[in-house]
């Protein structure tokens, strides 16, 4: 074999040519040099170049290989390399840092210098320190330490070339824990290498002023700032060994290249050959204007539309010649830039999350229910639902076309207008968002070319390419039908807020509480079993007849000016407001106290206008308070090509608060007044649904829209359900069949509970005012405890001052390991007391605790009922068992999982896991784990289930033969993640704990309490709620192994069924058995002497996560895991 010789040429900062083994010296800061081959190429010798700086210069000699920064992956999947707490715990008083090598900033040809020159720099826009670019250079050894003090780092590249992303991003920003503000290639190029949401791109902002405003907003809002670090949970930065890796790759290229040289005459031209047009323009030093592409308002870009009505001038749900709006889902646009080829509707944008779940069906893998999932036990019952049929022709198809324009047109409105000008398309049902076209009929050719002429006389060629042919069962079509109904509701003069539609023209007023209720409907189109159905239910939007300005004025009068801004910020940020001049809702993300209505903003046409003048001209509204600040709201991204949210300003005087405050929800009379209007009886609900159907059928435009697409609005669906038998409640010496199946509280007063521990060593901590209430409480506890079999001894009473710290000090002084339980009698405002007590007694000093409000003990007529509930809770917290139901399956463990976000730190997910540890399903193991994940998905289930199995083995000396886990808290679109990520954790735990013995069989059931579906029974000419135990497992269900169960009653209003979806099942239970078992478990929640809407382990897990997320904010001690300490 012939020996191949190689000459390696290194080009870049302080690079020198290396030949015959001579080692080049390392790069020096601030220098730039270029090395080229010094002589003619010898035979059999290859010349290689290692380019580690920007390709400004041309290497005109012949080069066979090139090793550069292009397409070099710099991220590898791994566990987080840096603890997140370590990043923001040192974020510091200096919010922004920008560092560039000193001598480069003097070069006016560099991109960063041009940016500063064009926009006037960031220094004048931000009242924060900006590291000098011409002063003392930062020593290389102290660079990361210096950058670590700053929240932001200006990672501005020396050159704008495709794939040219240097250590300014990788080392100076990412390793130091700063958020990089980048200037270099375009955003799409950056996102090939780094996760979206890990950086801020200057191209997303029309000016340095808007960029600075966004940085200042992030500086004030730590929760939003932290989102830029979420990527570290899945990725770590890989910094290459600067010389070793390139040398190794060069040698590898020498060995593999053979004798097939590849000549490159112009390195810069070669480097740019795969660049997009926009990137190529930018690389040549030309920054395109706003007309180069259509973009939305960048954060802080206060245009007329962004203030008055964000999205008013955007594209509509289904574009028509005079109504050009984008196909959208909620607030997420499904349109994309037009250069994405033939992607489908699903690939291009955000498919509605509940539609994503339609593609997850595990029933095909379950042999015992593959052919039939319906049960047969129980009494048949005819039911009416709030489902309506949508009839389609049997051969109905939806045709998706990708549309391109030559030359390219930046304006979406112009693209839509030119396409709709062709008569060939006018007689077809169509929907177009500027890029993707949907037709109800197929065009003659797969590729159709059209020619149009603009008003300026320019000829434009429009190419329509058929990309996908969709059936009615496709998730894309399901969402498309929802878009059609969105337009229909718009024709009915209804406004969309969230996913629901409301009629502001018919408000229901509750004047005594300054509330308005907008009636409306929640609507969803989906495929049920084998047909397409519309699910509609009545909904109400609660609005306060109080503006944000009125709220701020009242708050100022109550708190005074000293802490007004801080208190106002705390109470308003996060609330949802409605602007009635355009009937749109916004979330308050910040308050900008420096901007007033007299300040001016720049409109889209470049002119400036003040807020007060704008509202006067646009809406004929005169602002009364010219000194009020403005509210800041971050809108969700309308397009996937923009990572930064759109920031808009709102005037408090024109913003109305929505929803009910915590103070309002605790007002019994207010909530009763609201319930009287919103809790419709089955008859009232049915009347509203009938009115909706009638409105659609009477509206000619709405009916024509349906008919155009081949849809026909059908009748209301009726079906057959079943009623399973009621259950008997098992007590120690008595089996009761409650007179009312949903309530056995009266039986509990005269019958003994299954088991209890006597309470003899316990404390009562109270303030001086509550001392006289203790005797009455003790008397009632003994009167109710005796018949129940719960013996209550006299406690040690500790009197303290009426301060939270006094309660906590008393507990710390008197609680010891011998104390069984601590009862605290709290004043009327218990939040601070409750949180501090529960945190200490649940984590620091694990002892069961019982908190009682003073006002509860003053209700003399209800003291026996109050004492009964307190006695039952204390029994459970001491490890007692209250009642049971008959469970035919032996050696069965049931468990519940619930997940929520921590109230103080939204980055923390609280996972609650509760499992039975005896065969009667009356004793429970509880564990709560805090984790940091972006999604509400648990990654701690293996350790939780392993702990439960160990506890079961300790009590039963064997493992359970069956495990059934009910997973609550699964959001829309998370079903596949639960199946692919959580179920394997549970299986792994079961397998490892088996240790050679027969493995426990596992089933996983997803539980959803909130569903639109309602069932009614018909009696004569009226309808009413279905009876307890009603099961529906056909027609209204999906193609999955699922069913609905009514396990609660509604004294007022309409009862809501609970939806169960068995996504994994090794147990092979018959559908009848799974449904009956689920119904039995709804009887076993010890905090309520009646049936509840979900199985008891789910409700226990919910109570556990609620306590931790709202009060404790840390993991409870495992010493309490055997007791229901959270009731």
3-state DSSP of 1050-1072: CCCCCCCCEEEEEEEECCCCCHH
* pLDDT recorded at residue 1070: 93
Q: How far apart are CA 1037 and CA 1113, in angstroms?
A: 39
* pLDDT recorded at residue 353: 54
Same domain, 1076 and 1006: yes
Residues of the domain holding 442 = 397-471
Q: How many CB atoms lie within 10 A of CB 186?
A: 18
Is the predicted pLDDT of residue 1096 greater than 70, yes or no? yes
Of the chain, the end-to-end C-alpha distance in Å amounts to 81
Instruction: Report whether 569 contacts 220 (CB < 8 A).
Output: no
- CATH code, 630: 2.170.260.10
Residue 451's nearest CA partner among 433, 463, 442, 441 is 463
* pLDDT recorded at residue 43: 55
Same domain, 861 and 917: no
Mean pLDDT of 818-829: 86
- CATH code, 786: 3.40.50.2300
**Would the pTM count as exceeding 0.75?**
no
Any idea which residue has 């009726």 for tokens?
718
Q: How far is CA 669 from CA 512, 515, 543, 666, 1054, in A?
A: 11, 13, 17, 9, 21
Instruction: Kindly report the average pLDDT of the chain as a whole number.
Output: 77
Same domain, 613 and 571: yes
Residue 578's nearest CA partner among 588, 567, 570, 590 is 588
Same domain, 832 and 896: no
* pLDDT recorded at residue 137: 60
Cis ω before 78 (30° cut-off from 0): no
Q: How far is CA 261 from CA 45, 63, 777, in A?
A: 10, 8, 95
- Residue 765's SS3 state is strand
Stretch among 228-242, 389-403, 1006-1020 having the lowest mean pLDDT: 228-242
Which residues touch 606 (CB under 8 Å, ≥6 apart)?
none
Tell me, what DSSP letter sits at residue 367? G
Residue 798's nearest CA partner among 830, 746, 837, 832 is 837
Is the predicted pLDDT of residue 54 greater than 80, yes or no? no
Stretch among 95-109, 352-366, 381-395, 794-808 having the lowest mean pLDDT: 95-109
Is the predicted pLDDT of residue 246 greater than 90, yes or no? no
Rounded to 5°, angle at Cα 918 from 915 and 923 = 60
Tens of pLDDT, residues 1083-1093: 999 999 889 99
* Phi, then psi, of 1119 in degrees rounded to 5: -65, -20
Same domain, 812 and 911: no
Q: How far apart are CA 602 and CA 723, in angstroms?
A: 65
Domain boundary pick from 471, 506, 527: 471
Q: How far apart are CA 476 and CA 663, in angstroms?
A: 43
Token pair in block for residue 121? 């720099």
- Inter-residue long-range contacts of 256-265, CB under 8 Å, 24+ positions, other chains counted: 257/46, 257/64, 257/65, 261/46, 261/62, 261/64, 262/64, 262/65, 263/62, 263/63, 263/64, 264/62, 264/63, 264/66, 265/60, 265/62
Q: How far apart are CA 709 and CA 662, in angstroms?
A: 46
Helical ranges in 957-1095 per DSSP H: 975-977, 983-994, 1071-1081
Q: Of 12-26, 93-107, 208-222, 561-575, which one has max mean pLDDT?
A: 561-575
Tens of pLDDT, residues 458-474: 899 999 999 988 888 78
* pLDDT recorded at residue 35: 42
Residue 1109's nearest CA partner among 905, 968, 964 is 905
Mean pLDDT of 811-835: 86
Cα torsion angle, 1017, 1023, 1026, 1031, sign: positive
* pLDDT recorded at residue 44: 55
Report the percent of the chain where pLDDT is more than 90. 24
Task: Answer yes or no: is 487 within a domain.
Answer: no
Task: Answer yes or no: is 153 within a domain.
Answer: yes
In the structure, what pLDDT confidence band is assigned to residue 245 with cuts at 50, 70 and 90? Answer: low
Task: Answer yes or no: is 506 within a domain.
Answer: no
Same domain, 645 and 771: no
Tens of pLDDT, residues 639-694: 544 456 677 899 999 999 988 887 788 788 888 898 888 888 999 999 999 999 88
Same domain, 868 and 894: no
Instruction: Report whether 478 contacts 526 (CB < 8 A).
Output: yes
Tens of pLDDT, residues 761-770: 999 998 888 8
Which residues touch 779 (CB under 8 Å, ≥6 apart)?
none
Task: Answer yes or no: is 536 within a domain.
Answer: no
* pLDDT recorded at residue 323: 33
Residue 591's nearest CA partner among 562, 554, 566, 624 is 566
- Residue 959's SS3 state is coil
Give the burial class of 778: count Cβ atoms within 10 A of its Cβ; 0-12 exposed, 13-18 middle, 19 or more buried.
middle
Same domain, 991 and 862: no
Task: Answer yes or no: is 334 within a domain.
Answer: no
Token pair in block for residue 4? 């191949």
Any idea which residue has 């509990």 for tokens?
748
In the structure, what pLDDT confidence band is assigned to residue 358 with cuts at 50, 70 and 90? Answer: low
In the structure, what pLDDT confidence band is assigned to residue 455 with cuts at 50, 70 and 90? Answer: confident
Report the percent of the chain where pLDDT is more than 70. 75
Q: How far apart are CA 853 and CA 1035, in angstroms?
A: 49
Q: How far apart are CA 725 and CA 1076, in angstroms?
A: 9
Token pair in block for residue 28? 């020096």
* pLDDT recorded at residue 96: 44
Residue 1092's nearest CA partner among 941, 974, 966 is 966
Is the predicted pLDDT of residue 723 greater than 70, yes or no? yes
Tens of pLDDT, residues 789-808: 889 889 899 988 888 888 88
Tens of pLDDT, residues 158-200: 877 777 888 888 888 888 888 999 988 888 888 888 887 889 9
Instruction: Report whether 572 contacts 591 (CB < 8 A).
Output: yes
Token pair in block for residue 24? 């080049």
Beta strands per DSSP E along 272-342: 328-329, 332-333
Is the predicted pLDDT of residue 256 greater than 80, yes or no? no
Q: How far is CA 812 from CA 774, 818, 1126, in A?
A: 21, 14, 20
Q: How far is CA 1111 from CA 713, 765, 839, in A?
A: 49, 19, 7
Tens of pLDDT, residues 280-309: 434 333 333 333 222 223 223 333 333 333
More confident residue, 995 or 1034: 1034
Q: How far is CA 32 from the centre of its chain?
A: 47
* pLDDT recorded at residue 296: 29
Is the predicted pLDDT of residue 360 greater than 50, yes or no? yes
More confident residue, 228 or 295: 228
Q: How far apart are CA 349 and CA 328, in angstroms?
A: 9
Is the predicted pLDDT of residue 1035 greater than 70, yes or no? yes
Same domain, 873 and 946: no
CA dihedral 674, 680, 685, 691 (to 10 degrees): -40
* pLDDT recorded at residue 331: 27
Task: Answer yes or no: is 269 within a domain.
Answer: no
Instruction: Report whether 705 contacts 486 (CB < 8 A).
Output: no
Beta bridge partners of 390: 713
Instruction: Report whether 180 contacts 199 (CB < 8 A).
Output: yes
Q: How far apart are CA 373 and CA 369, in angstroms?
A: 5
* pLDDT recorded at residue 41: 52
641, containing H or E segment: none
* pLDDT recorded at residue 115: 62
Q: How far is CA 777 from the centre of its chain?
A: 45
Mean pLDDT of 317-332: 29
* pLDDT recorded at residue 1077: 95
Tens of pLDDT, residues 936-958: 888 889 999 999 999 999 999 89
- CATH code, 215: 3.40.50.11660
Task: Answer yes or no: is 2 within a domain.
Answer: no
Q: Of 119-128, 217-226, 235-244, 837-846, which one has max mean pLDDT?
A: 837-846
Which residues touch 685 (CB under 8 Å, ≥6 apart)?
386, 537, 538, 1014, 1054
Domain boundary pick from 660, 679, 711: 660
Tens of pLDDT, residues 535-561: 999 999 998 888 999 999 888 888 878
* pLDDT recorded at residue 48: 59
Same domain, 833 and 907: no
More confident residue, 45 or 982: 982
In the structure, what pLDDT confidence band is assigned to residue 1057 with cuts at 50, 70 and 90? Answer: very high
Domain boundary pick from 203, 225, 249: 249
Task: Answer yes or no: is 534 within a domain.
Answer: no
Q: Give the side-chain half-sphere CA count within 13 A for 674.
A: 22
Tell me, what DSSP letter sits at residue 1020? T
In the structure, what pLDDT confidence band is assigned to residue 1115 with cuts at 50, 70 and 90? Answer: very high
Same domain, 860 and 891: no
Same domain, 913 and 838: no
Q: How many domains are there within the chain?
A: 5
């Amino acid at each position: 074999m012939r020996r191949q010789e190689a000459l390696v040429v290194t080009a870049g900062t302080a690079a020198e040519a290396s030949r015959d083994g001579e080692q080049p010296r390392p790069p020096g800061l601030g220098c730039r040099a270029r090395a080229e081959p010094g002589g003619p190429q010898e035979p059999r010798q290859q010349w290689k170049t290692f380019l580690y700086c920007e390709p400004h210069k041309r290497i005109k000699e012949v080069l066979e290989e090139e090793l550069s920064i292009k397409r070099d992956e710099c991220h590898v999947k791994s566990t987080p390399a840096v603890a997140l707490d370590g990043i923001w715990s040192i974020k510091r008083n200096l919010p922004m840092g920008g560092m560039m090598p000193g001598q480069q900033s003097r070069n006016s040809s560099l991109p960063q210098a041009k940016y500063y020159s064009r926009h006037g720099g960031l220094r004048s826009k931000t009242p924060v320190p900006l590291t000098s670019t011409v002063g003392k250079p930062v020593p290389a050894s102290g660079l990361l330490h210096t950058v670590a003090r700053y929240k932001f780092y200006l990672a501005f590249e020396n050159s704008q070339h495709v794939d040219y992303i240097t250590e300014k991003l990788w080392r100076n920003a990412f390793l130091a824990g700063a958020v990089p503000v980048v200037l270099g290639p375009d955003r799409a190029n950056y996102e090939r290498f780094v996760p979206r949401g890990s950086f801020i791109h200057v191209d997303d902002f029309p000016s340095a002023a808007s960029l600075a405003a966004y940085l200042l907003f992030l500086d004030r809002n730590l929760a939003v700032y932290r989102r830029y670090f979420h990527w570290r949970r899945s990725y770590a930065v890989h910094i290459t060994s600067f010389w070793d890796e390139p040398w190794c790759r060069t040698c590898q290229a020498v060995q593999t290249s053979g004798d097939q040289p590849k000549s490159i005459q112009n390195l810069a031209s070669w480097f740019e050959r795969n660049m997009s047009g926009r990137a190529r323009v930018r690389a040549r030093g030309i920054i395109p204007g706003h007309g180069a592409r259509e973009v939305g308002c960048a954060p802080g870009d206060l245009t007329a539309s962004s203030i008055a009505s964000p999205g008013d001038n955007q594209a509509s749900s289904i574009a028509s010649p005079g109504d050009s709006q984008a196909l959208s889902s909620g607030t997420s646009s499904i349109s994309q830039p037009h250069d994405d080829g033939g992607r489908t509707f699903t690939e291009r944008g955000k498919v509605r999350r509940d539609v994503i779940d339609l593609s997850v069906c595990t029933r095909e893998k379950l042999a015992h229910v593959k052919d039939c999932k319906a049960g047969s036990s129980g009494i048949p019952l005819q039911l009416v639902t709030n489902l309506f049929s949508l009839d389609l022709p049997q051969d109905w198809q939806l045709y998706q076309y990708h549309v391109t324009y030559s030359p390219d047109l930046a304006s979406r409105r112009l693209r839509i207008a030119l396409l709709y000008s062709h008569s060939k398309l006018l007689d077809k049902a169509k929907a177009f968002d500027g890029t993707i076209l949907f037709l109800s009929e197929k065009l003659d050719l797969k590729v159709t070319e059209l020619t149009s002429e603009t008003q300026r006389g320019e000829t434009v060629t429009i190419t329509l390419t058929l990309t996908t042919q969709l059936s009615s069962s496709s998730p894309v079509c399901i969402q498309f039908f929802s878009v059609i109904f969105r337009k229909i509701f718009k024709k009915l003069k209804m406004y969309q807020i969230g996913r629901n539609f409301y009629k502001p023209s018919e408000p229901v007023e509750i004047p005594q509480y300054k509330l308005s209720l907008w009636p409306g409907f929640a609507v969803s189109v989906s495929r049920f079993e084998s047909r397409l159905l519309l699910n509609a239910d009545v909904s109400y939007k609660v609005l306060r007849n109080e503006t944000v300005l009125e709220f701020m004025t009242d708050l100022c009068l109550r708190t005074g000016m000293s802490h007004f801004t801080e208190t106002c910020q705390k109470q308003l940020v996060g609330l949802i407001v409605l602007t009635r001049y355009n009937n749109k809702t916004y979330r308050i993300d910040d308050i900008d106290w420096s901007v007033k209505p007299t300040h001016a903003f720049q409109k889209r046409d470049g002119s400036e206008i003040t807020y007060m003048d704008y509202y006067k001209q646009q809406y004929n509204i005169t602002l009364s308070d010219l000194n009020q600040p403005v509210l800041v709201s971050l809108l969700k991204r309308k397009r996937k090509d923009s990572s930064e949210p759109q920031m808009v300003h709102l005037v408090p005087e024109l913003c109305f608060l929505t929803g009910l405050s915590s103070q309002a929800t605790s007002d019994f009379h207010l909530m009763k007044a609201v319930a009287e209007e919103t809790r419709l009886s089955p008859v009232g609900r049915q009347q509203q649904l009938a009115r909706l159907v009638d409105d659609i059928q009477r509206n000619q435009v709405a009916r024509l829209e349906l008919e155009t697409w081949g849809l026909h609005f059908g009748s209301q669906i009726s079906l057959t359900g079943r009623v399973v038998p009621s259950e008997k409640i098992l007590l120690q010496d008595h089996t009761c069949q409650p007179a009312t199946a949903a309530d056995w509280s009266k039986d509990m007063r005269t019958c003994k509970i299954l088991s209890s521990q006597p309470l003899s060593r316990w404390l009562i901590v109270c303030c001086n005012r509550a001392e006289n209430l203790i005797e009455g409480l003790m008397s009632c506890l003994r009167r109710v405890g005796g018949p129940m079999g719960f013996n209550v001894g006299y406690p040690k009473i500790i009197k303290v001052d009426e301060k939270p710290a006094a309660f906590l000090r008393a507990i710390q002084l008197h609680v010891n390991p011998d104390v069984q339980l601590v009862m605290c009698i709290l004043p009327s405002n218990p939040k601070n007391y409750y949180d501090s007590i529960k945190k200490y007694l649940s984590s620091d000093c694990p002892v069961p605790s019982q908190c009682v409000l003073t006002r509860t003990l003053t209700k003399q007529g209800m003291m026996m009922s109050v004492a009964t509930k307190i006695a039952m809770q204390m029994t459970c917290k001491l490890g007692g068992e209250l009642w049971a139901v008959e469970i035919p399956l032996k050696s069965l463990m049931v468990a519940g999982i619930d997940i929520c976000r921590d109230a103080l730190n939204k980055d923390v997910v609280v996972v609650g896991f509760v499992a039975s540890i005896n065969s009667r399903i009356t004793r429970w193991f509880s564990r709560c784990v805090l984790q940091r994940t972006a999604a509400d998905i648990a990654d701690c289930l293996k350790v939780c289930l392993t702990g439960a199995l160990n506890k079961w083995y300790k009590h039963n000396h064997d493992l359970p033969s069956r495990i059934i886990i009910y997973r609550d808290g699964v959001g829309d679109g998370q079903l596949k993640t639960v199946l692919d990520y959580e179920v394997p954790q549970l299986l792994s735990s079961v397998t490892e704990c088996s240790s050679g013995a027969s493995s426990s069989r596992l089933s996983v059931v997803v539980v959803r309490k909130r569903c639109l579906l309602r069932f009614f029974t018909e009696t004569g000419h009226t309808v009413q709620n279905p009876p307890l135990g009603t099961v529906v497992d056909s027609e209204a269900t999906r193609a999955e192994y699922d069913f609905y169960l009514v396990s609660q009653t509604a004294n007022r209003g309409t009862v809501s069924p609970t939806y169960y979806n068995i996504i994994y099942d090794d147990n092979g239970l018959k559908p009848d058995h799974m449904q009956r078992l689920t119904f039995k478990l709804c009887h076993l929640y010890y905090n309520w002497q009646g049936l509840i809407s979900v199985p008891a382990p789910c409700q226990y897990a919910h109570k556990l996560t609620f306590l931790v997320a709202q009060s404790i904010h840390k993991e409870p001690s495992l010493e309490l895991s055997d007791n229901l300490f959270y009731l």
